[in-house]
Structure 1
Amino acid sequence: MIITHPNEQRKVPGKASQFTGLALGDAVMPATDGVIINTVSFAPGSRTHWHEHEAGQLLIILSGYGLICTDGETPQPLRTGSWVWIPPGERHWHGAAPDSFFTHTAISFGATRWSDAVSTDDYERHHHDQ
């Protein structure tokens, strides 16, 4: 059993190799039995880099307005109360919309493989397609 109290948690800036813009991560549960749980808060326009999860990822949207995109597709909107299952090996990114803060809890299974930054064109594609 692992118990973590709120005053022991630290919000830390996302790594530049994994995020574009300002994102603060709160490690709810560090890697335990192949599962990592983080609550991440994104400033407007901030987002992850492209990445994929060995055994999948569940996102639970806590607040704000965000976007998620699978490689080769159009970014999709995320709102408070939404949840998303990303299957194993699906290359994707997620983050805040240009004009909103955004917070989600990410439950990641297995290793995460990080890739390149999401281009401005790929990020802004949702403006033209909606």
Structure 2
Amino acid sequence: MIIEPKTPTGKGPAGWFTGDVWLDVIATPKADGQRANLNRVRFTPGARTAWHSHDLGQTLHITEGVALLGTRDGTVIIARPGETIYTPPGEEHWHGATPTDFMEHLAVYDTSSEPPLGANWLEQVSDEDYNRR
């Protein structure tokens, strides 16, 4: 076994997020054949991801606050601590905090063998899409 040092918390890239988002990388593939990634993601009130999809899907586990999760058909799901949301491969979606509260989730996804290697980042989520609930 190996104890890995904690990686520094990083600010989410502006191209991937609206508002302030902080990322902690918890796990990445270590050996041939492994693909799992695990990140802790913390959103300030009103912060959200850009539209994106994952080649091999994504699982989000809400640990704090209230999460908003949107799909291209206009559906916005509200999720609370302890709830887990699965997004199938290729489904374009976004997720973030409510306008008034922080939100934290654990994000699990597999790295694919072809670019974009896990996430395909698209355009920013409009205020209209974000406020649809």
TM-score with structure 2 length normalisation? 0.87
What whole-Å deviation, never above 9, does each CA across 1:76-104 have from its counterpart, x for those lacking one? Answer: 10111110011000000001011110000
Alignment-derived partner of residue 29 in structure 1? 27
Equivalents in 2 of 1:2, 1:95: separation in Å?
A: 33
3-state SS of paired residue (1:41): strand
Percent identity, please: 39
Say whether the 8 Å CA contact 1:66–1:77 is kept in structure 2. Answer: yes
2:9 to 4, 8, 11: 11
Q: Name structure 2 gaps, 5 residues minimum.
A: 112-117
Written as runs of structure 1 = structure 2, the 5 A alignment for 1:1-130 is 3-5=3-5, 8-32=6-30, 33-110=34-111, 111-126=118-133
3-state SS of paired residue (1:117): coil
3-state SS of paired residue (2:96): strand
**Aligned residues between the structures:** 124
* Amino acid corresponding to residue 59 of structure 1 in structure 2: L
Equivalents in 1 of 2:36, 2:16: separation in Å?
A: 18
Equivalents in 1 of 2:92, 2:20: separation in Å?
A: 21
* Amino acid corresponding to residue 132 of structure 2 in structure 1: R
Provide the alpha-carbon RMSD of the alignment. 1.4
Residues 90 and 99 (structure 1), Cα distance of their counterparts in 2 relative to 1, 3 Å cut: same
Q: CA deviation at 1:31?
A: 4.6
Higher share of residues assigned strand: 1
* Amino acid corresponding to residue 4 of structure 1 in structure 2: E
Equivalents in 2 of 1:2, 1:35: separation in Å?
A: 17
